[in-house]
Structure 1
Amino acid sequence: MTALAVERHAYHRTRARRSTLVALASTLVFAAVIAVTVASSPGWPRVRDSFFDLRIGWDSLPAILDGLWLNLRVLVVCQLLILIFGLGLAALRTLRGPVWFPVRALVIAYVDLFRGLPLLICLYLVGFGLPGLRLQGVPNNPVLLGGLALVLIYSAYVAEVFRAGIDSVHPSQIAAARSLGLNHRRTMRMVVLPQAARRVTPALLNDFVALQKDCGLISVLGAVDAVRAAQIQVATSYNFTPYVVAGLLFVALAVPSARLADWATRRAAHRQGGL
């Protein structure tokens, strides 16, 4: 390494250290200004007692953690089902030929319906409508019905993400696979889907970050998850601190996934820039 390169490296390291210190100082100043503004507001003592009571928060933590464990189980199962169902919908929509038009039309109708339907309304329709039909074999468990509503809504979004990834694969890749004697199914499985999955990973991770917090909406059907457990604690303590505890737990659950999504996005951009 030449002297000029060493000097340049030292300069960049100094600039990076200085930028880090400036960012840290500005963050601390900004946080201090917000803290002073909030603490000096006339209603802060009442808000502090109603939303930030450490004793009530600590006492309500075990019940909320039990509810969060239910949210985690629903999240894992729904993620797997959404991936499978969404990929199947995307594959069906990419079928070519007039004979597959009814299938493509049904998939488009499904995606348009459940992408436009608010999740809360879907939860009410599925959670209260299906048991109301009194059909044999239809469950009335609010956890199962809430998970079904989540799968219906998010599968529509994930299907479009997968379809965008499939369409992003250059036609020459498909032509090359066909020239090697691969049929449509093997071309999709061995050539198209691996490339599409890598390209849409950041978008999928962002969808699943949103799914993590939306799992808390199953509480509207009566499932005792973290949100409902916090609601029960609020009703018994006449204090809103359990809601804050539940919110912080959801944030703690979402932050690692969000950072993973950011890392996947940067990695995908770096790979595309290196091509």
Structure 2
Amino acid sequence: MSAPAAATGPPAPSPLARERAAYRRSRSRRSTLIALASTLVFASLLVAAVAGSPGWPRVRETFLDPRIAWESLPAVLSGLWLNLRVLVVAEVGVLVLGLLIAVLRTLRGPVFLPVRLLATGYVDLFRGVPLLVALYLIGFGLPALRLQGVPTDAAVLGTLTLVLVYSAYVAEVFRAGIESVHPSQRAAARSLGLTHRQSLRLVVLPQAVRNVLPPLLNDFVALQKDVGLISVLGAVDAIRAAQIESARTFNFTPYVVAALLFVALAAPTGRIADALARRAVRARSGS
């Protein structure tokens, strides 16, 4: 019987390859140490400049009181729960309405001209009106009509306004993604027997969404911040709860607590958006 063939693994790296790998590791460690040291130096200088300013004791007492922060945290967290619910509903509404408007704007043929004009007018209107003004107009204007079925709850009206305004921005993001898909993709889908609706749903939209996912997430990061504006309508969210606590304690620390909670809410989404953007760049470059 012949001896079994020895298992062959990957070839051992050459001395030059090992040397290059060691050099890259040493450069990476050196870059990390330099970045860490420069960050610590910058942070130390910043802390020293702020703490050494003449008004720092007063600012620390007014904005950074640990006792007031702890006491106001439950009320601000309760208000943040309303912001989270509004955020989830608004994100779903923005995705659906924004995608619908983008599809309407990309319809071809003279018969769809009125629909395209209507969708374009919607985008121009709600991208031009400041969000705060839109909140006042919709939040106070709709209930003033006294129509049957019109909601009067501040959170509902604030959510509706966020959906209407942000759908205009997201629609343009989706439209850019749809137009970035090469026409040959649509033609190939039609040549396979797919209808226009099927080619749009199965071929064009998946590629369009993948292309615009990073800017889409950036819009949602902005939406996470702007849900706090529903407080102008009287909804007791995190911002309004901080306002109430600030009026009770004559201190601005509750606003800092609310700000930190919003940052903690938005930071993970921002990092996900950055990671997806880097992944898209690597996919396009083929690396």
Output the TM-score relative to the length of structure 1.
Answer: 0.99
**Partners of 2:272 and 2:84 in 1: how far apart?**
17
Q: 2:171 aligns with which of 147, 150, 159?
A: 159
Residue aligning to 1:270: 282
In structure 2, the residue matched to 1:52 is: 64
User: Per-residue deviation at 1:179?
Assistant: 1.0
2:5 corresponds to which residue? none
Partner of 2:80: 68
Q: Tell me what 1:171 maps to.
A: 183
Cα RMSD (Å): 0.7
SS of equivalent to 1:23: helix
CA distance in 2, matches of 1:44, 1:175: 66
Shift of 1:214: 0.2
Q: Which residue of 2 aligns with 1:106?
A: 118
Runs of 4+ in 1 over 4 A off after TM superposition: none
Deviations along 1:118-148, one digit per CA (max 9) or x if unpaired, are 0000000000000011111101000000000
CA distance in 1 between counterparts of 2:30 and 2:235 reads: 51
Moved more, 263-272 or 102-111: 263-272
- The residue aligned with 1:89 is 101
Residue in structure 1 matching 2:267, options 252, 255, 260: 255
| 2-structure distance, mates of 1:123, 1:236 | 27
Counterpart for residue 142 of structure 1: 154
Q: In 1, Cα distance between the equivalents of 2:186 and 2:269?
A: 33
Instruction: Name the counterpart of 2:8.
Output: none
Residue 241 of structure 1 is aligned with which of 228, 249, 253?
A: 253
Residue type of the alignment partner of 1:211 = L
**Pair member with larger Rg:** 2
Scaled by the length of structure 2, the TM-score of the pair is 0.95
**Structure 1: runs of 5+ lacking an equivalent:** none
Deviation at 1:78, TM superposition (A): 0.5
Identity rate, percent: 69
Query: SS where residue 139 of structure 1 aligns?
Result: coil
SS, match of residue 108 in structure 2: coil
> Per-residue deviation at 1:215?
0.3
Describe the superposition over 1:18-63 as per-residue Cα deviations: whole angstroms up to 9, x where unpaired.
1101101100110110111111111110000000000000000000
SS in 2 for 1:182: coil
Letter matched to residue 58 of structure 1 = W
Give 5+ residue unaligned stretches, structure 2.
1-12
Q: How does 1:185-224 map to 2 (within 5 A)?
A: 185-224=197-236
